[in-house]
Homo-oligomer: A and B are copies of this chain.
Amino acid sequence: MILCRTIPELKAAVAKWKRELAEGETIGFVPTMGYLHEGHASLMRRSVADNRFTAVSIFVNPMQFGPNEDFDKYPRNEERDLAIAGEQGVDLVFLPSVEEMYPKRPLTKVLVSGVTERLCGASRPGHFDGVGLVVSKLFHLVQPDRAYFGMKDAQQVAVIKQMTEDLNFPVEIVPCPTVREPDGLALSSRNVYLTPEQRRQAVVLSQALQLAADRMDEGAVTPAELTELVKAKIGEADEAAIDYVELLTYPRLEQPEADVNVHEANAPLLLAVAVKFGSTRLIDNRLLQPSEVHAHV
């Protein structure tokens, strides 16, 4: 496995790959902030299976953290990360410093409107501006044919898909399923912050989403009823403080009418939650298929 810490090293490696690719062969890319877990590993295995070469980036991007967020204490473990990437068959890891990625203050912004207005876009002002910038930079540096993202960050997938489409990036965005602990908790690098009691209570997120999915299977229900159900369930965990619980169309992330039966929606619906346990903010979501969407497909 090749390890690149500088942009010239990465460019040289990518140029060599491009020359070695036979017709129809491709490069896959998994951008990460490191502290890798099985969710990341599943993206890497998917990319290794789909492509001739797979590159992984590990970069905790300061531009996507707010001033009061956890950039400084975001967990890092380079040695373990490299071992995990190696075990999945990754060909190259790009591990740049902040100075390498931002030698000067960038004057250019890549801003996506619409899909960034709700959920984490509203809770974390500027977050998706930082994501758009760093993903644009990484796409230009790695020049992949496909890039793999976990659906745990469903809004991030929607934002990157929108950006890729609007700007004609020659990259296919491949969303991949959320990987969960046996009890249902979605894997996240931030889970390491949880106290044992918070960790025990955090299972309430996936349980609440499951409750909503079950309720939907039972028949007609309004968006407000579903989000109230989820809020009530999460409220059972005494350390949980809800940031948001929202039901939106996917991938446009627009609000459906509050008082209509969700089965009459004409797009998949994303039920998304963000919940704080102490200072640790966890997110989770579930895509719900209104029966009408199936009927119309």
List residues of chain A with CB under 8 Å of any chain B CB: 7, 11, 18-19, 23, 106-115, 132-133, 136-137, 140-141, 143, 162-163, 166-170
Contact = CB atoms under 8 A, between A and B. Distances in A.
A140 B108 contact: no
B111 A168 contact: no
A166 B107 contact: yes
Given A7-B168, A137-B168, A168-B7, A162 B23 contact: no
A90 to B, nearest CB: 21
A176 to B, nearest CB: 23
Give me the 6 closest cross-chain CB pairs, A-B, nearest first: A108-B166, A106-B166, A140-B168, A107-B114, A137-B168, A109-B111
Contacts of A19: 23
15 contacts: A11-B170, A18-B18, A106-B167, A107-B166, A108-B111, A108-B166, A109-B109, A109-B113, A111-B111, A133-B167, A137-B167, A140-B168, A140-B170, A141-B170, A143-B170
Nearest to A171: B140
Given A167-B137, A168-B137, A107 B162 contact: yes
B113 A110 contact: no
Nearest to A138: B168
A94 to B, nearest CB: 12
A140 B114 contact: no
A42 to B, nearest CB: 28
Contacts of A141: 168, 170
Contact of A109 (B110, B133, B136, B140): B110
Contacts of A132: 108
A163 B169 CA distance: 15
A140 B169 contact: yes
A244 to B, nearest CB: 21
A178 B65 CA distance: 44
Contact of A112 (B107, B114, B163): B107
A112 B105 CA distance: 12
A110 B107 contact: no
Given A7-B168, A107-B114, A137-B166, 14 more contacts: A11-B170, A19-B23, A107-B112, A107-B162, A108-B132, A108-B163, A108-B166, A108-B167, A109-B110, A109-B113, A133-B166, A137-B167, A137-B168, A141-B170
Nearest to A106: B166
A292 to B, nearest CB: 23
B136 A167 contact: yes
A167 B110 contact: yes
A254 to B, nearest CB: 12
Nearest to A7: B168
